[in-house]
Structure 1
Amino acid sequence: MKICFVTHKVKKGDGQGRVNYEVIMEALKEGCEVMVISSELSEDLQNHAMVEWIRIKVPKIPTVLLRYQIFAVTSAFSIWLRQSSIDLLVVNGFITYARSDINCVHFVHSSWVKSKYHPFRERKDIRTLYQFVYNRLNAILERVALKRTRHIIAVSEKVKRDLVFDAKIGSPRISVIHNGVDTEEFYPRQANRSNYKLDEHMTYALFAGDLNSGIKNLDTVFHALSEVEDIHLLVLGDPERSRYPKLAEQLGLGKRVHFLGYRKDIADIMPLADLFIFPSRYETFSLVILEAMASGLPVIISSSCGVAELLSEDGAVVIEDPDDVKSLANVLRELVSNPKRLERMALLAREEALRNHWGVMANKYMEIFQHSTNSDRLPVSKQA
């Protein structure tokens, strides 16, 4: 079987790109030939004998909207030229004007554009207006692409609900396969805090995310932290041009919040912390939560995170309202004062992650792919 994957990136350092990478590696392991139509491809796949890479170089023009349109048109033409040699065409959302067999959906523009957390609803300026127009147009193109595919794979039940209620896609056409995690890269280990000038006896929470976006909700974390003693916060993300360093000072948290900057060695940073906190306001899945759990960190997240579907009550704390400062403060206060519960949650978090490694996810994708070539009716997976 020759599978053609159409996506912008296939590489380990990217969320959607990592999923594509792992699925392609599993397809190769099972003896499939692979064609990749993308702008970026991991170097090890570039040199693989069973991989054909059709590279689309998109010119550096002003907006992402125009660049993606160029990719969509060019990729469709590339597929048309090679359609006789392709057994299965796998795409991500609206990415090409070609008709696909499988569409793997990580984000639903039809839902995001309606969200109360969309930047245009919080602040109206040229930048957020562009984002609104971009998302609105993509919502229209997304529906067209999804109606022209045979089957859809959603990364969470949350994404499936968004597809059904906002993109108006019939539920029987949708399978749910949760993303995975590298449990060998992310694992519990001892870290030397003194190398980072951190107190060996202090409780540290960890936050990782875009510091120029309010969606990740670091402001609520700061306000909750200001109500709880004996806990510090490590922050991963680029603080340049971010408002959060100033907010930390205003709340009197200057000595308790440690901005570590953007890091590629996040697997080595996670063991510095005692717990992971990520009460995002809108998150279709979030790999970083599973990575924290694989590292043996108890997690505090919001119900808005798609990964919450995987978590047991004993292994994580899920807050219903991401903006509820008091609830978040109460959870932090209880965990800081209960180290035995933290230890128990850490063990359960690692166990949850081990059940959701990349191999488990990739095998489920391949089951869908195999069914698609042997049957007109694809199975509907209800769990990761």
Structure 2
Amino acid sequence: MKIAMSSRVYSKKGGVSRYVAELAERFAEEHEVHIFSSKWEDVGNDKIIFHKTPLPPGPILVEAGTYFLEMSALSRLMRSRFDIIHTEGLESAWLDVVTAHSIHRGAMEAMKCIGELKPIGAMDKFLLAIEKINYQKCRNYRKIICDSSSSKQELMDFYEVPAEDIAVVPLGVNAEEFKPLDKRSLKPLRDKYGIDDGDLVLLIVATEFYRKGITELINAVNILINERGYKTIKLLVVGKARIEGSRKGDTYYRELAAKLGIAKNVIFTGSASDLNAHYNLGDIFVFPTKYEAFGIPTLEAMSCGLPVINSKIGAGELITDSHDGLLLDDANNVKEIADKIETLVVDETLRVNLGENARKTAKKYTWDIIARQTMNVYEEVLRC
């Protein structure tokens, strides 16, 4: 099979860009794989054929718009050359398979419901227009892949996409890269962040701090420390914060922790090169995200053997409540977040059992398995 895949950036860093890289490496073992990208790194397979799609320097809107036009033209011209053309996100108007990693209208509606919808900007208008063109007006796709059932439902609700046009295939995890480590090997990293032997570490990995619920998480930690007396709890926030409206970087969150008197208990690491080691610093992974198409950090944390507390959306759909994690009914409810954390703080046996089961669950979603499921979608498309 001749497969063309596009990704504006081809890399194993990040969830969306990693998706194409992981699938391409596996497909290239048996098929001819071509990657169309403006930039690539972490290339681990010399069987993959790369094609440069040049982009002009400029703001992200110019880059995204140019790439969309380039890939739309290329996809239409290449249809006779390839068996499958697979793009991620909103990168082309002519394709066989598109993976809808998120539904921008869904994200905006979610933020609107909690009163945090920022003024609609040019990039928002661009993404909404492309969604409408691809999913409602033109529908030049042959199949859409969604990372979760919640994203599938959004496509059906907002753009009236027929259910039979959508396949749900979650993102995957490399269970050999993200795995439990001997805690003794982590002492230098624990010392770096001031984590003592008796501390219980809550962990979150994120870049969009507000959407991922870090405000609520800090407030929940405040309840646990100052109202319920769990003085040895520490919250480790891994990731470099993006600018979200008036919240510029992590300044807002540092000031919030200081205002609550828990600045010493909330640790901001910034970007981390060794994510597996940082996951293993945690005792409990907490992800009270307000909107998520998937949320790959949840699956990576589970693969590392951490018990997880998660919203019901995105990767939360993979969790069986009280078996391999705890699910939040309302990710905006600070008391509920604190209660779920306290449940695991006081019950070490439950914490260990959930972590062991989480690792077993994560192994059901390795990239090898996800690649096979994606190939099944390709084969279905070719049969039609």
TM-score, with length taken from structure 2? 0.89
> Which residue, 260, 265, 269 being the options, matches 1:256?
265
Question: Does residue 178 of structure 1 match 2:152?
Answer: no
Q: Secondary structure at the match of 1:85?
A: coil
Question: Does residue 291 of structure 1 match 2:291?
Answer: no
Are 1:275 and 1:297, in contact at CA under 8 Å, matched by a contact in 2?
yes
Deviation, 1:109, is: 2.1
Q: Secondary structure at the match of 1:259?
A: strand
> Which residue, 366, 377, 384 being the options, matches 1:357?
366
Q: How many residues align?
A: 365
Match of 1:381 in 2: none
Are 1:94 and 1:145, in contact at CA under 8 Å, matched by a contact in 2?
no
> Which residue, 88, 101, 108 being the options, matches 1:92?
88
> Which residue, 226, 231, 234 being the options, matches 1:232?
234
Q: Secondary structure at the match of 1:359?
A: helix
Deviations 1:244-268 (A, max 9, x none): 1111000111111111121121111
Q: Which amino acid aligns with 1:216?
A: K
Deviation, 1:19, is: 1.2
Match of 1:382 in 2: none
Find the aligned partners of 1:293 and 1:284 in 2 and give their Cα distance: 18
Find the aligned partners of 1:69 and 1:267 in 2 and give their Cα distance: 35
Match of 1:379 in 2: none
Find the aligned partners of 1:251 and 1:133 in 2 and give their Cα distance: 38
Match of 1:42 in 2: 41
Aligned counterparts, 1:26-41, within 5 A: 26-29=26-29, 31-41=30-40
Are 1:319 and 1:328, in contact at CA under 8 Å, matched by a contact in 2?
yes
Deviation, 1:81, is: 4.4
Are 1:11 and 1:18, in contact at CA under 8 Å, matched by a contact in 2?
yes
Question: Does residue 311 of structure 1 match 2:305?
Answer: no
Find the aligned partners of 1:157 and 1:69 in 2 and give their Cα distance: 28
CA 1:182 to 1:117, structure 2 compared with 1: closer, same or farther past 3 Å?
farther
Q: Which moved more, 1:236-245 or 1:68-77?
A: 236-245
Deviation, 1:175, is: 0.9
Find the aligned partners of 2:137 and 2:352 in 1 and give their Cα distance: 46
Aligned counterparts, 1:1-384, within 5 A: 1-29=1-29, 31-44=30-43, 48=46, 50-62=47-59, 64-97=60-93, 99-117=94-112, 122=116, 124=118, 128-144=120-136, 147-189=139-181, 190=183, 191-192=186-187, 193-210=190-207, 213-228=209-224, 229=230, 230-238=232-240, 240=249, 242-303=251-312, 305-313=313-321, 314-373=323-382, 375-376=383-384
Deviation, 1:111, is: 2.0
Q: Which moved more, 1:277-286 or 1:11-20?
A: 11-20
Are 2:303 and 2:363, in contact at CA under 8 Å, matched by a contact in 1?
yes
Find the aligned partners of 1:176 and 1:282 in 2 and give their Cα distance: 18
Find the aligned partners of 1:149 and 1:111 in 2 and give their Cα distance: 20
Match of 2:245 in 1: none
Q: Secondary structure at the match of 2:171?
A: coil
Find the aligned partners of 1:311 and 1:94 in 2 and give their Cα distance: 28
CA 1:142 to 1:248, structure 2 compared with 1: closer, same or farther past 3 Å?
farther
CA 1:253 to 1:117, structure 2 compared with 1: closer, same or farther past 3 Å?
farther
Deviations 1:131-178 (A, max 9, x none): 543443233234258711111111111111111111210001111111
Are 1:155 and 1:177, in contact at CA under 8 Å, matched by a contact in 2?
yes
Find the aligned partners of 2:261 and 2:361 in 1 and give their Cα distance: 36
Q: Secondary structure at the match of 2:172?
A: coil
Deviation, 1:122, is: 2.2
Moved over 4 A (4+): none
Q: Which amino acid aligns with 1:35?
A: H
Find the aligned partners of 2:274 and 2:138 in 1 and give their Cα distance: 36
Find the aligned partners of 1:285 and 1:337 in 2 and give their Cα distance: 29
Deviations 1:306-340 (A, max 9, x none): 11111112211111111101111111222111111
Are 1:93 and 1:145, in contact at CA under 8 Å, matched by a contact in 2?
no
Deviation, 1:356, is: 1.1
TM-score, with length taken from structure 1? 0.89
Deviation, 1:205, is: 0.5
Find the aligned partners of 1:224 and 1:162 in 2 and give their Cα distance: 30
CA 1:200 to 1:117, structure 2 compared with 1: closer, same or farther past 3 Å?
farther
Find the aligned partners of 1:93 and 1:129 in 2 and give their Cα distance: 19
Q: Secondary structure at the match of 1:205?
A: strand
Find the aligned partners of 2:153 and 2:117 in 1 and give their Cα distance: 27
Deviations 1:344-374 (A, max 9, x none): 111111111111111111111112212322x
Q: Secondary structure at the match of 1:226?
A: helix
Are 1:217 and 1:279, in contact at CA under 8 Å, matched by a contact in 2?
yes
CA 1:110 to 1:81, structure 2 compared with 1: closer, same or farther past 3 Å?
same
Deviations 1:66-108 (A, max 9, x none): 22121122223333444432111111232123x2111111111
Find the aligned partners of 2:275 and 2:345 in 1 and give their Cα distance: 23
Are 1:146 and 1:152, in contact at CA under 8 Å, matched by a contact in 2?
no
